[in-house]
Amino acid sequence: MKEVNVDVAVIGAGTAGLAAYRAAIAAGRRAVIIEGGPYGTTCARVGCMPSKLLIAAAEAAHATEKWDAFGIRLEGSVRIDGAAVMERVRRERDRFVGFVLKGVDNIPAEHKLRGHAKFVDDHSLQVDDHTVVTFGCAVIATGSSPAIPPVLKGAGDRLIVNDDVFDWTELPRSAAVFGPGVIGLEIGQALHRLGVQVEMFGRGHFVGPFSDPALKEYATRTFGEEFPLFTDARVSSIERVGDGVRLMQDFDDGSSAVKEFDWVIAATGRAPNVKNLGLENTSVTLGANGVPEFDRTTMQCGSTGIFIAGDANNDVPLLHEAADEGRIAGENAARFPQVQRGLRREPIGVVFSDPQLATVGRRFVDLAPDSFVTGEVSFEDQGRARVVLRNKGLLHVYAEKGSGRLLGCEMIGPDVEHLAHLLAWAMQSGMTVQRALEMPFYHPVVEEGLRTALRDAAAKLADA
């Protein structure tokens, strides 16, 4: 049995783990990074980048559908070569993964351990059956894995998770997508626009990241006009048949429908990878979901020398947050017990559907009733949005009564990824509605829609 003694042991070589390792090394500490799976981040392998590659192809195909409205006539038809689409997705995906692997290759061999780590106690880890690591502090950065509801298991080998889509060599004829959240909407709409017959099934009337009832309703209607979307579906059975899957869907009026698909795609969320870490052997306090309780400003688990970062802590599963959390955890592990609060940025989330969805700062559900006003704008009559025939959308910005401070926003609309950044910067700098209205707005741009919503909020604040 090999023995290794380090100041900081990092479990997981994804975005958060690599950031933690680099922070510890930069602080002059002896560190090791342990990985039991393939190197390469969730973002590069199965998340942000391959999904955007699929979406880019879908957007190119969908653009021709608006040509007639612009007076551009398409002679003949557009043919989607599914094999070519997926070949580019895989090729470019592998290129992005290669960049990550190059960074891992630059880590000294003696700082890398291959295998699955399990805590023996607060200061030691067993890595498979070959190494014991004794450490001063540890950072858990083990990421997450797709969660699959038991009801979908009847699909057998025709059930895949969203991660698996990017390994397809051809586009299927049809797919049932379960989970109209961030991932499900992106992949489901992209497949639909690439010619796949898609139906989407959810529960609880949730759609995307929205908590504002008006935004939920608008998004449900908008996507439901493009493909069948059931946000509170009752699927009573799923079975593997022939070359695909058959499911039974029940409706409120007592009727049922039998539907067949080539594939069932589970985009039903992700679960933190913490079950097999031996956390019960440590003094950390575990929550009901098995995730250690931690301080999100320091990433420290209680008063121990164990920290947790990235998707493993089940807080904000986004790449930029994982990078921040990993850095904070690594720095604090290096300086322990002199732990310091790290910078947590204004929350921002974007769904790269069409129209795009975004949330910034506090969502509607996070705000105390009667403590804020809502500034609203519809993009349906917004000048630039109509010019480019992308005039679908609704934006709600929330401002604090009394102070007028910008608190949050939920929105659906054309390229709202850019509006989200403007608002995140404004909110993190403590801007009020009035101060934001003093900023420049060019004409004609979609950002003028934000100005309209801010003016609406200002009027409501004056009357509050």
Inform me whether the pLDDT recorded for 270 exceeds 90. Answer: yes
Inform me whether the pLDDT recorded for 46 exceeds 90. Answer: no
Inform me whether the pLDDT recorded for 22 exceeds 90. Answer: yes
Q: How confident is the model at residue 455 (pLDDT cuts 50, 70, 90)?
A: very high
Inform me whether the pLDDT recorded for 464 exceeds 90. Answer: no
Helix, strand, coil shares of the chain as percentages rounded to 5? 35, 25, 35
Q: How confident is the model at residue 40 (pLDDT cuts 50, 70, 90)?
A: confident
Inform me whether the pLDDT recorded for 207 exceeds 90. Answer: yes
Cis peptide upstream of residue 337 (ω within 30 degrees of 0): yes
The token duo for 277 is 């870490």
Cis peptide upstream of residue 444 (ω within 30 degrees of 0): yes
Inform me whether the pLDDT recorded for 41 exceeds 90. Answer: no
What's 331-346 look like in SS3? Answer: HHHHHCCCCCCCCCCC
Edge-to-edge strand ranges of the sheet holding 263-266: 159-161, 263-266, 174-178, 197-201, 229-230
Inform me whether the pLDDT recorded for 76 exceeds 90. Answer: no
Task: Report pLDDT digits (tens) over 168-204.
Answer: 999 999 999 999 999 999 999 999 999 999 999 999 9
Please provide the DSSP assignment of 60-110 as one string: HHHHGGGHHHHT----S-----HHHHHHHHHHHHHHHHHHHHHHHHTS-GG
Please, what CATH class does the domain formed by 150-269 belong to? alpha beta
Q: How confident is the model at residue 257 (pLDDT cuts 50, 70, 90)?
A: very high
pLDDT given at position 260 = 98
Task: Report pLDDT digits (tens) over 83-127.
Answer: 999 999 999 999 999 999 999 999 999 999 999 999 999 999 999
Mention every residue, 6+ apart, whose C-beta is less than 8 A from residue 392.
Answer: 222, 355, 379, 380, 385, 412, 413, 414
Give the strand pairing for 244-250 and 234-241: antiparallel
The ranges of the chain annotated as CATH 3.50.50.60 are: 2-146+271-335, 150-269
- Which contiguous run of DSSP H or E holds residue 414? none
Angle at 395 between CA 394 and CA 398, to 5 degrees: 145
pLDDT given at position 78 = 86
Give residue 71's identity as a one-letter amino acid code.
G
Between 15-26 and 319-335, two packed helices, what is the crossing angle to 10 degrees?
A: 30
Q: Judge contact between 38 and 45, C-beta under 8 A.
A: yes
Answer positive or negative: Cα dihedral of 12, 13, 14, 15: positive
Distance, CA of 257 to CA of 362 (rounded, Å): 40
Q: Judge contact between 195 and 82, C-beta under 8 A.
A: yes
pLDDT given at position 424 = 98
pLDDT given at position 77 = 82
pTM of the model: 0.95
The token duo for 126 is 């067993």
The token duo for 282 is 């440590």
End-to-end CA, the chain = 70
Distance, CA of 2 to CA of 131 (rounded, Å): 5
CATH number corresponding to 348-463:
3.30.390.30
Closest CA to 127 of 21, 1, 13, 281: 1
Task: Report pLDDT digits (tens) over 334-377.
Answer: 999 999 999 999 999 999 999 999 999 999 999 999 999 999 99
Q: How confident is the model at residue 75 (pLDDT cuts 50, 70, 90)?
A: confident
Please, what CATH class does the domain formed by 2-146+271-335 belong to? alpha beta
The ranges of the chain annotated as CATH 3.30.390.30 are: 348-463
Distance, CA of 396 to CA of 41 (rounded, Å): 34
pLDDT given at position 39 = 87
Q: For the chain, give the mean pLDDT.
A: 96
Closest CA to 35 of 131, 124, 120: 131
